[in-house]
């Protein structure tokens, strides 16, 4: 049996799967209590990572004393595909594979192939994306493109070699990630984005270099406010640099103006360079919450469903699957879970709400960022 060594909620609280209750549906989508349709699913395919970013898996909490999940506890690709088909039948249009580091999951390309061939309710191929730290992208970009991957997001918080190594805390060189991004471009992956988590006093002075590097290319940079996910990263409101401040800094050097969203519920607010140098985005979960349009569910690496990134409890769908439930039973359970959803954590976030939930918050690497 796996030894429980660490207090990190690697086995977070579980809620009972609802066996009765209303299912709200409009057109092809399940609708929650705030009128929000379920369109988007994030799947964590591994809780392991080769980086130890301080804001996500700090070394002192995720080193020797930490027990990662055993392979048998992870959802298999067959189980993931089965669930994905149920979600897509009920209106999900996008699936993002994340983690931990998704490219560490063996043969991840075959999961991309399985999922990309699913047809959505409007007859299109399912939109499958991956978020990665880019460390294995030089090796994998071509095979991922061949597997049908259309969108990739690479996390890159600094182009300064020293700051980058400090951030990943395993001495991984930034040049290798840049080579990975180049490999994704060369492989012809149509959409490439860069995620930059901004933490006060850590990388806030490196942002213009990133903008300069990617401006005028087809790679879109998005700045993300440091969030209070999980319990291990020591989040404090004081560490957050509000997007508004970053916009002002960038605007002084590279004039930008707001652009319309690509679609309703787009998480990043879009801005474009006035000189036609492309666009950048800002994900301002802390300073400008977007819960009103949040249409996202998360599936953890061991098959628990979460209605919010800041949830403290998940619903154990793997238990249903491995207990022999039919597709219809699973479908109804998920429909009930979404229909009862009222979550809107970012709208009520204060330093106090963060403290109240502190012992039960789920780690990003487990729930999937
Ligand atoms: N390992 C992959 C990566 O780093 O891209 C995928 C998983 S990671 C948890 C997904 C995204 O969440 C990354 O872009 C990462 O920078 C972001 N992230 C992690 N912890 C965060 C935090 N506390 N606040 C904001 N974003 C965070
Ligand atoms: Fe790993 Fe991604 Fe978390 Fe960094 S942000 S520790 S790369 S899972
Ligand atoms: Fe969605 Fe929860 Fe984030 Fe609000 S706080 S946008 S409900 S995940």
- What's the pLDDT tens digit per position in 126-139? 999 999 999 999 99
**Domains recognised in the chain with CATH numbers:** 13-367 (3.20.20.70)
Among candidate residues 120, 112, 117, the one with its CA nearest the CA of residue 90: 120
Q: What residues flank ligand 3, with Cβ below 6 Å?
A: 285, 290-291, 294, 296, 308-310, 343-346
Is residue 91 lining ligand 2, measured as CB closer than 6 Å? Answer: no
Enter the pTM of the model: 0.94
Q: What is the pLDDT of residues 35-71, one digit of tens each?
A: 999 999 999 999 999 999 999 999 988 987 788 999 9
CA-235 nearest atom, ligand 1 = 23
pLDDT at position 225 is 96
Q: Would you say the CB of residue 133 lies under 6 angstroms from ligand 2?
A: yes
Ligand 1 nearest atom to the CA of residue 226, by list position: 24
Mean pLDDT on 244-255? 97
Residues 6+ apart with CB under 8 A from 30: 23, 24, 37, 38, 90, 91, 334, 335, 338, 339
Contact criterion met (CB below 8 Å) for 62 and 116: no
pLDDT at 10 over 60: no
Specify whether the CB–CB gap between 288 and 354 falls below 8 A: no
Bridge-based pairing state of the strands 191-198 and 219-225: parallel
Separation of alpha carbons 351 and 369, rounded Å: 21
Q: Please give the DSSP secondary-structure letter assigned to residue 31.
A: B
Tell me what pLDDT residue 11 has: 54
Our answer on whether the CB atom of 226 is closer than 6 Å to any ligand 2 atom is no
Q: 118, 10, 13: which is closest to 67 by C-alpha?
A: 10
> Which ligand has the minimum distance to the alpha carbon of residue 157?
1
Q: Look at ligand 3, atom 6, and give the residue with the nearest C-alpha.
A: 291
- For the chain, give the longest Cα–Cα distance: 60
Span 117-127, pLDDT tens digits: 999 988 899 99
């Amino acid at each position: 049996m796996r030894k429980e060594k660490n207090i990190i909620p690697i086995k977070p609280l579980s809620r009972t799967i609802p066996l009765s209750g209303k299912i709200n549906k409009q057109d092809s989508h399940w609708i929650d209590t705030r009128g929000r349709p379920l369109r988007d699913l994030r799947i964590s395919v591994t809780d392991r990572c080769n980086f130890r970013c301080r804001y996500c898996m700090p070394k002192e909490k995720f080193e020797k004393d930490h027990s990662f999940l055993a392979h048998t506890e992870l959802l298999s690709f067959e189980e993931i595909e089965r669930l994905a088909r149920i979600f897509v039948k009920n209106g999900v249009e996008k699936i993002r594979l994340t983690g931990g580091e998704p490219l560490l999951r063996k043969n991840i390309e075959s999961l991309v192939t399985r999922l990309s061939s699913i047809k959505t309710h409007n007859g299109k191929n399912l939109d499958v994306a991956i978020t990665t730290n880019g460390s294995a992208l030089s090796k994998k970009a071509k095979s991922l493109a061949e597997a049908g991957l259309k969108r990739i997001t690479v996390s890159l918080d600094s182009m300064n070699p020293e700051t980058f190594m400090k951030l990943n805390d395993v001495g991984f060189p930034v040049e290798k990630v840049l080579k990975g991004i180049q490999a994704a471009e060369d492989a012809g992956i149509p959409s490439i984005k860069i995620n930059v988590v901004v933490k006060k006093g850590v990388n806030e002075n490196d942002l213009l270099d990133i903008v300069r590097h990617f401006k005028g290319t087809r790679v879109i940079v998005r700045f993300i406010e440091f969030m209070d996910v999980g319990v291990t990263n020591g989040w404090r409101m004081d560490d957050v640099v509000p997007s508004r401040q970053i916009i002002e800094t960038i605007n002084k050097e590279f004039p930008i103006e707001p652009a319309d969203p690509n679609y309703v519920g787009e998480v990043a607010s879009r801005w474009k360079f006035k000189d036609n140098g492309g666009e950048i985005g800002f994900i301002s979960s802390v300073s400008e919450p977007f819960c009103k349009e949040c249409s996202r569910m998360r599936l953890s690496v061991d098959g628990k469903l979460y209605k919010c990134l800041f949830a403290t409890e998940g619903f154990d769908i793997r238990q249903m699957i491995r207990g022999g439930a039919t597709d219809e039973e699973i479908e109804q359970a998920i429909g009930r879970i979404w229909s009862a959803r009222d979550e809107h954590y970012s709208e009520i976030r204060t330093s106090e709400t963060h403290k109240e939930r502190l012992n039960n918050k789920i780690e990003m690497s487990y729930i999937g960022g």
